[in-house]
Every structure is written in structure tokens, then in C-alpha cells.
Structure 1
Amino acid sequence: MTEIWFTGIFLALLFFFLGTGVWIGISLLGVSAVGMMLFTPRSVGDAMSITVWGMSSSWTLTALPLFIWMGEILFRTKLSENLFRGMAPLMSRFPGGLLHVNIVGCAIFAAISGSSAATVATVGKMSIPELRTRRYPERMIVGTLAGAGTLGLLIPPSIILIIYGVTVNESIAQLFIAGVLPGIGLAILFMGYVAIWGALTGNAGALAEAASDWRQKLKATRLLIPVVLLITVVIGSIYAGIATATEAAVFGVVGALLLSLAQGSLTRQTFMDALMGATRTSSMIALILAGSAFLSLSMGFTGLPRALAETIAGWQLSPIALIAALTVFYIILGCFLDGISAVVLTMAVIEPLVRSYGFDMVWFGIYLVIVVEMAQITPPVGFNLFVLQGMTGRNMAFIARAALPMFAIMILAVALLVAFPDVATFLPRQMVGR
């Protein structure tokens, strides 16, 4: 009964702070401080300073601002233009036509960005005008961008996987590698949906592209070489054991700067814009993580996570039933919080529960990211939906309906991941086995 009171007080305070417009990180610190003052004898100031410093000075966390900076640099290059020009001749003859460029383009940019919103914005700023000119249905243009943009959270380097790894003390490198096959699989599911739609509708009257010979395709493919090379260096160095996630992030930043310089888009202004953009995003995430760490400590003193885990264990749910319940929980939570906030707010309670059921925490991280990806396309707080609203001028209801088929595909992806966990754990096992 005491734990129920603790839970009620924590939640009431948190919703009060968030509802009054207080930043999420500050809200977490405030709730934690009040909880410690009410329920523990420990000095709040000492506990806060030690916890916040310990989280902020984590070496693992240094990969985060570097990968964000890499994405910010590439966001200001001609990457989206080159992606479209390079892939259009290769994709135009498939059922669904150039809509596949949205999906493959998002998958490629996801592998060098780590941000869902940046992925949507970068690919969309070039593909939306081109696809509109070719008379593709607006619903499919918006839907494929909304769904495929979420790959930025799953395909490494992923910002949210770094945050999850730091929070639960798991290897960032293993989490990155674990996200490769599920990310590719989800992209294939999206492409399968587009292909079926294209076959059934004949691309809904979109203008047909002129056939390209092998010389044109080869010339177009050359535009993709710098991007593919950058992806290979970043991800390949981690998988080969040559570099840690942080060292790979350094390679990525240097590669992004060289790519931007080669394209002629690296100026003093773009450099400073990218640097300040990365600083703002990294500072926001660091504040949320600091608040999350202090909340975990505060809740740990109250015994709430352990008590809640014991209570749920007493229900004797099967592992499948627990995963189903968590999926529904995170989908509902995603309607009101962004993905990063959903992870850091819940891990203090969810982690001991999941560990008590014996789940592989690397596998659970991939499952969690796919479920949290759904938050990017669920109203009212879906970041991808907001980005697309600004880019297309469409109302939120239209964009949410367009994204609904992609939401259903992501639920299917979760079911497949539960049924075939080796999809996420196979590559990490190969790393450990070396």
C-alpha cells in the first residue's frame, strides 16, 4: 500500500511540473528532490550533485554529441539531393516507383544520423517536391516518409540506443550492431507494403519514369559512394572491433566534414550552425539523462522499483503477456511523450522488472526502440508528424491517417522480433565470440 502512495505522489508531481511547462529534465530533478525529502533521510544536495556529475561525466555518453554533430553537418549538405538522384534510376521500375526512394533514402541517412526528425527533414526536403511533380498520391508520400523516418532511431548510430545503453549499463557497440538487421528488416517491410500498393493501383496514375540503361544507373550510383563509404567506416569499425562507439563517432564527424567540404557546402556559417545545433540538442538530452539518473536514485531509496517488480511477478504473467502489456503501455505513453523522454522516465521501474523475467537486455533495447519509434508517428505528440506538417502544409489529421499503415507494419515488426529474437541477438553474439 505504501508503494501505491509513493507512485501516486511521484506521478502527480511529475504531471504537475510537465503540465505547467517546466522542462522535462528540470521536472525530473524536482520530482526526485521532493521524493527524497519526503521519504528518505539522505541529503538531497549531496545525492543530486554526485548523481548528476556521475551521469554527465560518463565516457560512454561522449559518443552522443559527436553523432548528433555528424548528423547536423550532413543535414546542411547536398546529401538529400544526391540520394534522390542516385537512387531514382534504381528504384523507378519497382512497383511503387519512386516512393521506394523515401524508404531507402531514410534508411541510408539513418545510418549516418541517428535522429528521426533529421532523417525525415533531410530526405523530405528533396523527395516531396519531386514526388509531387510526378503526381504520386500525397497520402503515400507523407505516409512513407513518416514511417521510414523512424528508422533514424533504430539503424545505428542511434541516439536513443546510446541513451538506453547508458541508462541500463549495456554495451553501446553491441546495441548498435543489434539494430542493423531489425532496421533493414523494417525497411524491407515498408518497401513490401509500397510494392503491394503499387502493384494493386498501378502507382495510382503517377508519371512513369523513362527507362534507364546500365550506364545511367552506374553513373547515378556513383553519387551514393561517399555516403556508403561513410556508413562503412562508422559501422564497420565498430563491428570489426577496430573502434569503440565514441571513436567511430569521431570518424563519422571527420568524414561528414570532408564530405561537406567536397560538396562545397562547408562554410563558416554552416559549420557554426551545425555546431550550435548539436550543442543545443546534446545539452537538452544530457539534462534529461541527469534528471532520469536522479529519479532512479530517488525511487531506489523508496523501494518502488523492486516492490513494483515483485507485484507484477506475483501476477505470474508469461513473458509474451508481459511484452504485450509493455507494448500497449509504451504506445499509450508515446501519444504524450517523445521517445527519449519515454525511455528515461520508465527505465528505473521497467529495467529490474525485465531483468527479473530473464530477457536479454540487448534484445529488449531493440524491442523498446521499435515500440518507441511508434511514438514518432502517433498524435498528439509525434515529432515526425510535426516535421511533415511543416514541410507539406497538411493538417495533423491527414498526416496521422497517412502514417497509420506504417504504424501497423511496426506492430508486425514487434511481433516478428518477439517470435524470432535472433534477428537482434545474432550479430552481437558474433562480436562477443571473437
Structure 2
Amino acid sequence: MTTLDATVLLLGLLVVTLGAGIWIFSALLIVSIASLYLGLGFSPDRIGAIASKVIANKAVSWELAAVPIFLWMGEIILRTDLSQRLFRGLSPLVARIPGGLIHTNVLGCTVFAAISGSGTATTATVGKITIPELTRRGYNTSLSVGSLAGAGSFGLLIPPSIAMIVYGVLAEVSITRLFAAGVLPGLMMAGLFSGYIAIRSAISRHKPEDATERMTMRILFTSVRDLMPITLVMVVVLGSIYSGLATPSEAAAVGLAIAMVIAGIGRQLSHRMLLETLLNAVRVSTMLCVLIATSSLLSACLAYMNLPEEIKTWFSQAAFSPYMLLFVLALLYIVMGMFLDGTSITVMTVPIVLPVVVAAGFDPIWFGVFLIIMIELSALTPPIGLNLFILQGLTGRAINRVTLDALPFFLLMCFGTLILTLFPIIALWLPSLL
């Protein structure tokens, strides 16, 4: 069987297995084994040896240790009152800016993303606090919901990000440098969102009923006090990583300890809470690790089939420019995002597209940021946009209405991606300092 025939077999099996609705990791495993056996004629013994070696090597990757620890830290923080304190702390600082408290959606998600590592958790946690309060004060519901849908996805881009750890393990690049690469693009997106909110609110005739009290030292002190715990977690976790004092896994352990202390001081820590959060973290991290392991087997299968080289040759013969390649990939990711979650998209595509992207001259660290933004966009695309469903549940609005609310922020993220493509130094400057 030729390489082309084996490739057609692989893609066909992938479509069939995914269409059958079976679990993603099962589909990857079936496709990999079937391609090696039917496409390349490998014996069962050889396939078993390849699978055991690849999966075992990936399963003991030290970088993966950060996943369950960061997840556990996020689960504990989600069950404390830090989200309420974050809203109280940010509200006086943004009340007089055009757009007022809607900026707490953007700033709250930006800050909370730096300790949760999950886009859906960020959207749900911040939304539970801000949506009722913004509605009560008469803010534009469409702008409130749309800004939260877009900013909630920052949990994937702003470190520490579980999605970045998954990409880093698959692409075999530095997790620390990936974390650094996400900082400035994340802040740029937050700036675009806040700028749009301010401009749209300034030209709107709709004015909410906001508090008009002046900022006083007492209010400022209260605001700083409310923001102190979450700031402490951010500074310790990210500071220890970027300073080189700790690896991401070690920093995650320190952050977990601080989260437990904060929960204990607030009398919110209990044996039941510890057990429930631990079980949730174990469930999610197990799912992620299994996906990574089976994706690594698929990557090995592709290498045996020489598929990455064939794709690179095809692109070079087709005379695609590097930017055209990115445009095609962006469209592909947006379409895939309509039907698959971000983790599945990552583990299925990175083994195939990364060699092509690197051959086109793009830095794998930069492409990691690009991929994360594409996954963020998938959270805003129906029918599987997770952020859209979360906000539908929080607000009771129809899914098509929530989608329209999120559309301006979807377009802003596309614009931010264009800026990042034209000026890759935005993502690569901080990693170059490490």
C-alpha cells in the first residue's frame, strides 16, 4: 500500500470512528493500530511494541505532572469566595470608565484565567457573579454577555494554561516559554475587548444606574484587600516559573498549597471539599493524559507512514505562501471548533500540522499561541461552543441570541490574531528573555 493509500485509509477511519460517536481517545487508538496493521502491514507484535514504548514514554513525561496539580488548585479556588472578592475589588477601579462595570468581565476573566487554567471554568465562575449584578444595575445585556463569552476564553491563553501544557507536551517545546508567550497576546486581547466596550458604551444613549461615589482611600484600601489573595497566587505561581526558581509542576504545587491556605483562612476548607476537588481534578487530568498518550501513538503512526513529509512536499509544490497556509489552517480550526472541543482538536491536529508549519518558517512557540487562540474561537462557535452554552444557562437567553452577542468579540479575536501574525514578536519577545 502506497503512502497516499495509507493516508486515505487513516483519514477515512478517523472520520468513521468520530462519526460513530465513540470517545476521542478510542478513535485515535483504533485509527493508529488499524493504519499500522492494514496500511503498513506491521505485525501485531511490532504494533504492540511500538504502542507500549510510545505511550509509556509519554505517560511518564514530567511536564504532565503540572496538569492534575493546576486542575486541583483551580477546583479549590472555584469553591472559595475569591470570585466575589475579585468583583468587589475591581468594581471601584472601573466604575467611571466608559462601559463601567462591564470591564469587570474582561479584567475579572483576565485575572481569574491566571489561576484557573480553564476557559469554561473562568466563564462560569466570573459569569455567576457579574451577570446578575450587571443586570440588576441596568447594563446592556448584549454587551455584558458578549464580553463574558469572549473574555472567558482567556483561561486557555493566559498562563498557567492546561491547553498550553497539552500543546507543549505534544510539540515537545518548553512549557515555561509557552506560558511566557501567552502573556502579551492575552493582554492585547483584553485591551481590544475593553477598548471596544468603552467606545460602544461612549456612543450609546443607554446609561446604567451606577454608583457615583468618589474614590476614597477607604474604598481603595478595601479594593486592594479584596484583590490581595488572588494577586498573591498569581505572583507566586507565575513569578516562580519566569524567574527560574521552579518548574511549572513545582510552581503548581506551591500554588495549590497557597490555595489551600486561603481556603483554610476563609473557613471554606473541609475534608469533603478536598475530596470532591481532588476527584474532579483526577477525572479531568486522566482524560487529558489518555488523549495525549493516544495522540502520541497517532504521531508515531504518521511518522512511519511518512505523512508529515508528504504534506510538506505537497504544500511546497502547491506554492502556498506561509500566510496562506495559516489562513487555511485558521478556517480548518474554526470549522472543527463547531463540532469538537479544544483538547480534541489539539491532540488530533498537532501531529499532522506542526511539521508543516515549522517547515513554512513559523516558530513552534508562536504557533502554540496561534493554535490556542483558534481553540478560543471554537468556544464561541455554535453548535458546540462551550462558552455559549454556559452563558445560555446563566442568562436564559436563546443560543442564537448569545451567539450574536458574542459575534463582535469573535471578530475582535480574529483581528487580534491578524496583529499577532503580522507582528509575531508580541508572542516571542518574553520567551526570548528566558
Report matched runs for 1:13-28 at 5 Å. 13-28=13-28
1:237 pairs, out of 228, 235, 240, with 240
Q: 1:7-43 CA distances to partner (integer Å, 9 max, x unpaired)?
A: 3322222222222221111111111111111123252
Contact 1:309–1:349 (8 Å) recurs in 2: no
1:212 pairs, out of 214, 218, 228, with 214
CA distance in 1, matches of 2:273, 2:392: 25
CA distance in 2, matches of 1:334, 1:145: 19
Q: 1:356-389 CA distances to partner (integer Å, 9 max, x unpaired)?
A: 1221111111111112210111111111112112
Q: 1:260-317 CA distances to partner (integer Å, 9 max, x unpaired)?
A: 1122211122211111111111011111111111111112211122111110121122
Do residues 313 (structure 1) and 316 (structure 2) align? yes
Do residues 303 (structure 1) and 313 (structure 2) align? no
Give, in angstroms, the shift of residue 53 of structure 1.
1.4
Which residue is 1:342 aligned to?
345
CA distance in 2, matches of 1:207, 1:13: 57
CA distance in 1, matches of 2:58, 2:342: 19
Contact 2:71–2:281 (8 Å) recurs in 1: yes
What code does the residue aligned with 2:8 have?
G
Which residue is 1:197 aligned to?
200
Report matched runs for 1:249-260 at 5 Å. 249-260=252-263
Which residue is 1:115 aligned to?
118
Contact 2:9–2:39 (8 Å) recurs in 1: no
Q: 1:238-275 CA distances to partner (integer Å, 9 max, x unpaired)?
A: 11111111111111111111111122211122211111
CA distance in 2, matches of 1:214, 1:420: 41
CA distance in 2, matches of 1:283, 1:248: 20
Q: Bigger shift: 9-18 or 146-155? A: 9-18
2:176 pairs, out of 168, 173, 176, with 173
Do residues 38 (structure 1) and 41 (structure 2) align? no
Do residues 387 (structure 1) and 390 (structure 2) align? yes
Do residues 358 (structure 1) and 375 (structure 2) align? no
Question: Secondary structure of the equivalent of 1:330?
Answer: helix
Give, in angstroms, the shift of residue 391 of structure 1.
1.7
Q: 1:76-119 CA distances to partner (integer Å, 9 max, x unpaired)?
A: 11011101111111111110110000110000000001100000
Which residue is 1:369 aligned to?
372
What code does the residue aligned with 2:427 have?
A
Contact 1:29–1:295 (8 Å) recurs in 2: yes
Contact 1:153–1:369 (8 Å) recurs in 2: yes
CA distance in 1, matches of 2:323, 2:386: 29
CA distance in 2, matches of 1:143, 1:234: 30
Which residue is 1:141 aligned to?
144
Do residues 401 (structure 1) and 404 (structure 2) align? yes
CA distance in 2, matches of 1:420, 1:327: 17
Give, in angstroms, the shift of residue 3 of structure 1.
4.0
1:158 pairs, out of 151, 156, 161, with 161
In structure 1, runs of 5+ residues without a counterpart are: none
CA distance in 1, matches of 2:289, 2:392: 28
What code does the residue aligned with 2:12 have?
A
The normalised TM-score by structure 2 is 0.96
CA distance in 2, matches of 1:283, 1:177: 26
Q: Bigger shift: 106-115 or 262-271? A: 262-271
Question: Secondary structure of the equivalent of 1:257?
Answer: helix
Which residue is 2:335 aligned to?
332
What code does the residue aligned with 1:407 have?
F
In the comparison of the two structures, how many residue pairs are matched?
430
CA distance in 2, matches of 1:104, 1:290: 35
Q: CA RMSD in A?
A: 1.4
CA distance in 2, matches of 1:178, 1:88: 29
The normalised TM-score by structure 1 is 0.96
CA distance in 1, matches of 2:184, 2:207: 34
Which residue is 1:100 aligned to?
103
Question: Secondary structure of the equivalent of 1:98?
Answer: helix
Give, in angstroms, the shift of residue 183 of structure 1.
0.7
Which residue is 1:87 aligned to?
90
CA distance in 2, matches of 1:45, 1:63: 29
Q: Bigger shift: 216-225 or 276-285? A: 216-225
Give, in angstroms, the shift of residue 2 of structure 1.
4.0
Question: Secondary structure of the equivalent of 1:377?
Answer: coil
Which residue is 2:293 aligned to?
290
Q: 1:160-217 CA distances to partner (integer Å, 9 max, x unpaired)?
A: 1101110111000000011111111111111011101110114x23212222322212
CA distance in 2, matches of 1:340, 1:160: 7
Contact 1:377–1:383 (8 Å) recurs in 2: yes
